[in-house]
Amino acid sequence: MFGYYFRLSLRSFRRNIILTGLMVLAIGVGIGASMTTLTIYRAMAADPIPGKSARLFTPQIDNYGPVNLGSDTKAFQTADRLPVSLTYIDAVAFMRAHAAPRQAAMYATNVAVTPADTKQLPFRAPARATYADFFAMFDVPFEYGAPWSAQDDAARAPLVVITRQLNDRLFGGANSVGRTVTMNGDPYRVVGVMDSWNPEPRFYDLNNAFDAGGADEVYLPFTLAIARQIQSNGLSCLKSVGSGWQALLASECIWTSVWVELPTAASVRAYRSFLTNYGNAQRDSGRFHWPTHVALRNVRQWLAYRQVVSQDVSTLVLVSFAFLAVCLLNALGLMLAKFMARLGQVSVRRALGANQRAILAQCVVESGTLGLTGAAVGLGFTLLGLGLARGLFGDSSAVLTSLNGGDVAIAIAVSVCTTMLAGLYPSWRASRVQPAWQLKTQ
Amino acid sequence: MLTMKNLSKVYRTDVLETHALREFTVEVREGEFVAVTGPSGSGKTTFLTIAGLLEEFTSGEYWLDGVDTRGLNDRQRSRLRNEKIGFVFQSFNLIPDLNVYDNIDVPLRYRGLRGAERRRLIQEVLQRVGLSSRVRHYPSEMSGGQQQRAAIARALVGRPRLLLADEPTGNLDTQMARGVMELLEELHRGGATIVMVTHDPELAARAQRQVHIMDGRIVELEAEPVLVGQGSVEGLRRAFGRSA
Amino acid sequence: MEIRPILSALRRNKVGACLIALQIAVTLGILCNAFYIVQQRRALVARPSGVDEADVFTVSNQWVGNPPNMAALQRADIAALRAIPGVRDVFPAASVPLSNSAMTLGITTNPDNPRSMHIAAAYLGDEHTLDTLGARLVAGRNFAASEVHELDGIFGSRPPIAGVLVTRDLAHKLAPDGQILGRVVLLFPFQIRAPVIGVIDRLQVPFVDGPDNKIGNIVEDSMVLPYRYVGDAYWYVVRVQPGALDAAMRAAPGVLAGVSHARIIEKVRAMSEARREIYRADRTMVQMLTVVCAVLLAVTAFGIVGLTSYWVSQRRRQIGIRRTLGATRVAILQYFQTENLVISIAGILVGLALALGGNLWMVDSFSTARLPLAYLVGGVLTMLALGQLAVLWPALRAASVPPAIATRTT
């Protein structure tokens, strides 16, 4: 019977080709708009490191105290008034304490890379100064070689891990372990080449959370970067600083972050008390003149706290779902009109032996077919919308390069379900028509 | 074939209670051609809708082909309707979206027959009503007479035991009406049981038996074929005070 | 036109009428808020930077391999850039407007009270900075060449300076009395002290991240310090005579390569391009919301046309009877227009609540501004007009129903 109902609905579409076309278009546009924003939202709110996001933590500590620099500074403050980065002093202290099984301090910088091949021009590469644990902690895959070791960290060894892209550019994709890269005029020895790795959102580098083009290409030991006075990209100071590199290291300026892996609830508790104790010790030593204020957030909490999902996207999700609601109300109304206009036919069918369920099935198949067509059109609009939305992120964002199978399945399911839901009331109304209706009204 | 005993039908609204049929008792035997007559609002159509299982009744009994129809659910009633009853309507009630073939196909679909069986039955019935050349035509492309033939074909295709016709010639001119009437009579000769509602005494007179309804009650008139003639029509006119 | 018969007819078409009213409600709710966001963003994107954007471009420059004579190289670069035909002025900048990369400092005229501190963006520049950007002084004076010091990094050694330039908005915050010239300001965190010697008409801070409008209140708060930046990475800002931009931009990389190859030039970018890039998200938002609003209006109108058409076809006989009873075409037209008005008003009442609710949500989550009354009024008028226009076609069809239809049975 399904085939029969399906052919009947096609026939009914053909008879009202304009009306049907507009309904499909309306549903399609609604689905397209909401799926576009939902896809973006899902990408932005995605878990960048599934399976580990609950075990990776970043500590924060209040090294500013209750300073109030006028109303203008509110723009730069977080909800709990904690700085979002750490001072060099605190980062190094946390590393020395070894309070977590794995831990890595880090900061973002840029290096000037001079290719060995003199025909190639020098170029700037985004770089990250960090510790050996970074790679194991974040499950970074390696194509060649391996990360440097904790001994290398201690020895400030001039080693470097590069990405596959940079390896392709500098060494034509060959195994470059042991070869030399010249950065900022100094030689560095390659110890490892990373395989493709691109957690999104990039939780440890929220200034470049979604821009694949801004991803670090070079990783070098933090200790060495400090020794070579390689400056951080971002730096925020609210207290006076003296002149020179040593003054910067000793200052209350914030420009580093620390990530730690805490595998058990007990280790999380232990790290929290370590942080509190550290804060108290700083107060006792006279560095802080205010109550200790620390925080320890895992990846998910951190992303929520830093409001990685842009307000624009939240707004658009709301708007597009309201829009979808209008499109569905519209489809519901038109389907109601369409089915009601056909009540005569329905009662004839009833007289010819169709039971209520058969009528319901026919109407539901018709609205479902409409929904499926709307879903197909909506998928097209989704692709179009994602193209348009590229402007929200930047062209190179991986968020928008592919719509994955799950998103497509969701789009189709939402479309068919909502249209069938919208078709359900009119169908039910149609199936309730008295078979004698046609006789009585003639 | 069709037996109603003390059957009543009451329509209730908030303010009104209408007794459409009261203490209604009638029997139609297999192979009979019964004409149901009566003035507007007498309960003719209600009788037909109940007989056709399109509506439920308030009290009494209704047996259709040996089946007690009381307490049947929608599925069972739909099935009975589909298998045992064929409807012919005054305004044909062909589905405008479907051509002749697909219209005739509708009851067979609901019976769940296979494609080959459906095709065979449809071809057969089309020949019977003489519409084989119009199979692909849509209702809007045919004359009233042709439409009614298609509608009769649709009523017959499932080989129902009982044909219910509601003013089958009401929307047709005299010539076409005669053609349709002849078709019904032919069907009757072929053994079909037909119940026809009409207010046209001339048509009613062509039936084997007439049942007259007034105010929801039955007034049976035995109308043997020999009575067909001027006199009886005049008599009817006098009796019911309305012009035929 | 009597309302009562319309109301009773609507009661019999409850579901359809409710659907239209709901559509109108949600549409109005979205429309008001979306249009408000669109207008806010357009205003945001239209903010002038204070730079002569049509005639200014930037060249990013990073020295490679720590050349020992970076200051001399810079002087040679500037001379070479100035020699390009059509170039009017050049200066080396550590940050430029519309770049999203800034140095912000605390600034106050009252060092003893930290609460008097304001956050402002600091541009490093020289006596050519104002002319190169196209910024205009409204009071005081520019730096003299002799007052400009070289600085190889803000954390390096910082010679004392003779004065700073501040924008008019910042001046107003620092000295609401208007007496800013000559007042000494303290710059945090570097403990730099200097008098304000000039007031710039307008110079935006380098970052404009507007969507949340968090920095909206400091977007005009900039200062210029007389430090010529000679670190290893900076921009050359180049201003050209009108019409000479493209040629100069094409010539610049070659000219700089003529001075030295030991550098990376990542980007030669016109200011107009910088503006496009920095406001891309806002423009996208404007485009998306505009499209959504337009389609939304179309969908709602289409829904009204569809359902009203159905009602008209359902009531053809009834309309015919009215016509035979003496109703004019205009009366039939008015009937359907009034019916739509009744539905629209019901929808609009709900829609106003939705509009305000949506706005409250945004005020709550994003601390955006309250929806001005004008947007509500505009939205209501739009929805009324939309309803009346959409109903026109089916209503005209209804009006053209011939009275004779009443005499036919079907």
Sequence-distant (6+) residues with CB within 8 A of C246 are none
Residue A44: the pLDDT is: 80
Rg (CA), chain B: 18
User: pLDDT, tens digit, for every residue of C240-270?
Assistant: 999 999 999 999 999 999 998 888 888 899 9
| Residue B244 confidence (pLDDT) above 70 | no
| Residue B238 confidence (pLDDT) above 50 | no
Distance from CA of C241 to the nearest CA of A (A): 31
Residue C261: the pLDDT is: 85
User: pLDDT, tens digit, for every residue of B72-99?
Assistant: 888 888 888 888 999 888 888 888 888 8
Q: How far is CA B55 from CA A359, B198, B203, C309, in A?
A: 17, 20, 26, 32
Q: What is the dihedral of CA B67, B73, B74, B79, to 10 degrees?
A: -30
- In a mutational test of the A interface, the residue from C214, C279, C292, C371 whose CB has the highest number of chain A CBs within 10 Å is C292
Q: What's the DSSP call for residue A105?
A: E
User: pLDDT, tens digit, for every residue of C309-345?
Assistant: 888 888 888 888 888 787 888 888 998 999 999 999 9
Q: Using CA atoms, how far apart are residues B47 and A439, in angstroms rounded to an integer?
A: 11
* Mean pLDDT in order along chain A per 10 residues (442 residues): 84 82 86 84 84 93 73 63 91 95 94 85 91 96 95 95 94 94 92 90 82 83 94 78 84 92 95 96 91 93 86 84 87 84 85 88 87 85 77 54 68 75 84 74 51
Q: What are phi and psi of C267, to 5 degrees?
A: -145, 130
Report chain B's mean pLDDT, rounded to a whole number.
Answer: 83
Per-residue pLDDT, averaged over B163-172, amounts to 86
User: pLDDT, tens digit, for every residue of C357-397?
Assistant: 988 888 887 767 788 899 999 999 999 999 999 999 999 99
Distance from CA of C131 to the nearest CA of A (A): 29
The residues that bridge with A113 in the sheet, in sequence order, are A123, A183
Q: How far is CA C135 from CA C52, C91, C204, in A?
A: 7, 13, 10
User: pLDDT, tens digit, for every residue of B49-61?
Assistant: 899 888 889 999 9
- End-to-end Cα distance, chain C: 29
Residue A438: the pLDDT is: 63
- Chain C positions in Cβ-Cβ contact with residue A124 (cut-off 8 Å): 62, 264, 266
A351–B154 CB contact, under 8 Å: no
Sequence-distant (6+) residues with CB within 8 A of A341 are C310, C313, C314
- In a mutational test of the A interface, the residue from B75, B95, B156, B197 whose CB has the highest number of chain A CBs within 10 Å is B95
Per-residue pLDDT, averaged over C117-138, amounts to 92
Which two three-digit tokens encode residue A160? 């470097």
- Chain A positions in Cβ-Cβ contact with residue C266 (cut-off 8 Å): 123-124
A72, A76, A340: residue with CB nearest C217: A72
A357 and chain B in contact, CB less than 8 A: yes
Residue A56: the pLDDT is: 96
| Residue B240 confidence (pLDDT) above 70 | no
| Residue C61 confidence (pLDDT) above 60 | yes
Which two three-digit tokens encode residue A418? 């909502």
A1 and chain B in contact, CB less than 8 A: yes
A72, A315, A334: residue with CB nearest C303: A334
Per-residue pLDDT, averaged over C51-61, amounts to 94
Size of interface A-C (CB pairs under 8 A): 191
